Amino acid sequence: MKNYGDLKIKDHCLTVGGCKASALAEKYGTPIYVFDVNRAVKTAKAYVDVLEKEYGNFTVCYASKAFCCTGIYNVLAPLGLGADVVSGGELYTALKGGIDPKRIYFHGNNKSESEIKYALTVGVGCFVVDSIDEADIISKHARAPQRVIVRVNPGVEAHTHRFIQTTMPDSKFGFSVADGTAKQFILSIKDKPNIDFAGVACHIGSQIFEKQSFEIAIDKMTDFIAELEKLGVKVKILDLGGGFGIRYIDEDNPLTPEQYMANSARYLKAAAEQKGITLPHLVVEPGRSIVGEAGITLYTVGSIKTIKDLKTYAAVDGGMFENPRPSMYDAEYTAVVADRADAENTNTYSIAGKCCESGDVLIKDIKLPKLSRGDVLAVLSTGAYHYSMASNYNRNAVPPVVAVKDGKSDYMIKPQTYEDLVRNDVIPFSENNK
């Protein structure tokens, strides 16, 4: 096991946040997501510190979609982070968790009128406008000039899974820079009543390792800003989105937040100077990189099934309901046996989930020590896009999130009960459905 977050092996046992993983499994049951609070704080602080040093005029907005609950905002807000939200629900949670509304950027390619009204009422700092009608709806409901930036598609091909790539020419996100629609749209809204046009946003994809992809985005965005400024349009904010990759498997070698950010900050300063544009307020929106390696998922191994001459499945008590990423994106993971974390990997298993789908396999062909029913298996780097993408498929309960910190543990999100699963069910047309 390489370095995943701050995981340690002590007396052959995996520990996280100073807690023994198998003891957490015993105390809280499985499956559970475990979240190392200090690890997330450390990464978030790294973003703030490096931008303070290298750039000065910036906002780090945590991308809520990676892991959204009041507890995470409660940890990040005191560090001065804002939030990127994409729905009324994320906005509500961010406010409940203590994020300053002025530091909220409201994204989304199809915000509803009621979401827009809600965001205006609570005073979100900035809308990231992503459709023509959105600007009209904001203009109609805003009582004072509302700050907006415009999501553009700079057309950058980042090397990542095609479903998490967002700036290909046919993307549903943003106004295209290449065909002139972005410029046209900005010119059309900049003098609209109650619209305070302040800048531009892009997001080139997720789980990106190459710093060059961000450099190309900066090149294209600063070219575009220069073009707008020539037309007399002031651009105060440049939002470069998130996308910074993390380690899921030993072969992954992500840069550190310091490296990603120092590079982008320097590159942006040089580009701005060369193109003669005002240095914009820089917004970055890391999601996965703040929470991803802070999370692990603990499972209990159940049935083990060998198909002669083909493979051996070890089934766990989770599956695609709590981690849909392998079936959606062919995502790969590393796992360790919690109490034999440094034992020799002698056997090959496919780790199957418990959902009624052949495709519900969490890890294909991983080498592990010999497994037995009852072993606690830890899958690493599950802090981002796991809880937030979980479902009740097959009416499985979404696992709780247990926070760990300095050797202590506590719920961050409580477990769902069977009663929770039927709470909103009603028998239609019946007497008690009133």
Distances (CA, A) of 183 to 154, 171, 271: 12, 17, 20
Q: Give the contacts of 375 (CB within 8 A, at least 6 positions apart).
A: 300, 301, 337, 338, 339, 340
Nearer to ligand LLP, 128 or 142 (CB): 128
Query: Residue from 241, 254, 319, 353 that binds ligand LLP (CB under 6 A)?
Result: 241
Helix (H) or strand (E) holding 225: helix 211-230
The answer to whether the beta carbons of residues 185 and 174 sit under 8 Å apart is no
The least distance separating ligand LLP from the CB of residue 287, rounded to whole angstroms, comes to 3
3-class SS of residue 164: helix
Kindly tell me which residue out of 28, 33, 244, 349 binds ligand LLP, with binding defined by CB under 6 A: 244
Question: Considering only residues 374-393, where is the footprint of ligand LLP by CB under 6 A?
Answer: 385
* 288 belongs to the binding site for ligand LLP (CB under 6 A): yes
Count residues contacting ligand LLP (CB under 6 A)? 22
Bond preceding residue 415 cis, omega within 30 of 0: no
Rounded to whole angstroms, the Cα distance separating 279 from 268 reads 8
Among 107, 190, 220, 354, binds ligand LLP (CB under 6 A): 107
Q: Which of 13, 126, 355, 356 is catalytic?
A: 356
Which of 5, 243, 326, 383 is the binder for ligand LLP (CB under 6 A)? 243
- Between 182 and 314, CB nearer to ligand LLP: 182
Nearer to ligand LLP, 197 or 209 (CB): 209
CB closer to ligand LLP out of 19 and 257: 257
Task: State the distance between the two ends of the chain, measured CA to CA, in whole angstroms.
Answer: 56
Tokens coding 38: 């200090």
Q: How far apart are CA 16 and CA 11, in angstroms?
A: 13
Residues within window 165-204 making contact with ligand LLP, judged by CB under 6 A: 166, 203
Residue 162 C-beta: closest distance to ligand LLP, Å: 12
Residues 3-42 that bind ligand LLP (CB under 6 A): none
Q: Pick from 206, 300, 323, 350: which binds ligand LLP (CB under 6 A)?
A: 206
Please tell me the distance from the alpha carbon of residue 79 to that of residue 73, in angstroms, as a whole number: 10
* Token digits of residue 424: 């909103």
Q: Judged by CB, which is closer to ligand LLP: 36, or 90?
A: 90
CB of 432 to ligand LLP, least distance (A): 39
Question: What share of residues in the chain are helix, strand, coil (percent, to 5)?
Answer: 35, 25, 40
Q: Which of residues 267-286 bind ligand LLP (CB under 6 A)?
A: 285-286
Residue 306, classified by CB atoms within 10 Å of its CB into exposed (0-12), middle (13-18) or buried (19+), is exposed
Give catalytic status of residue 356 as yes or no. Answer: yes
Interaction between residue 134 and ligand LLP (CB under 6 A) = no
Q: List Cα–Cα distances, 52 to 84, 90, 107, 238, 400, in angstroms.
A: 20, 27, 25, 16, 35
- Sort 327 into a burial class: Cβ within 10 Å, 0-12 / 13-18 / 19+: middle
Closest separation between CB of residue 216 and ligand LLP, Å?
17
CA distance 320 to 360: 6
**CB closer to ligand LLP, 55 vs 387:** 387
Supply the minimum distance, in Å, between the C-beta of residue 197 and ligand LLP. 18
Q: Which two tokens stand for residue 241?
A: 């989105």
Give the footprint of ligand LLP on residues 55-94 (CB under 6 A): 63, 65-66, 84
CA gap 87, 107 in Å, rounded: 8
Which lies closer to ligand LLP via its Cβ, residue 43 or residue 206? 206
Q: Which residue has the tokens 């995981």?
A: 7
Residues 293-352 close enough to bind ligand LLP by CB under 6 A: 325, 329
Closer to ligand LLP at the Cβ: 244 or 321?
244
Among 93, 165, 213, 289, binds ligand LLP (CB under 6 A): 289
User: Which of 94, 119, 164, 296 touches ligand LLP by CB under 6 A?
Assistant: 164
Residues engaged in binding ligand LLP (CB under 6 A): 63, 65-66, 84, 107, 164, 166, 203, 206-207, 241-244, 285-289, 325, 329, 385
| Catalytic annotation, residues | 356
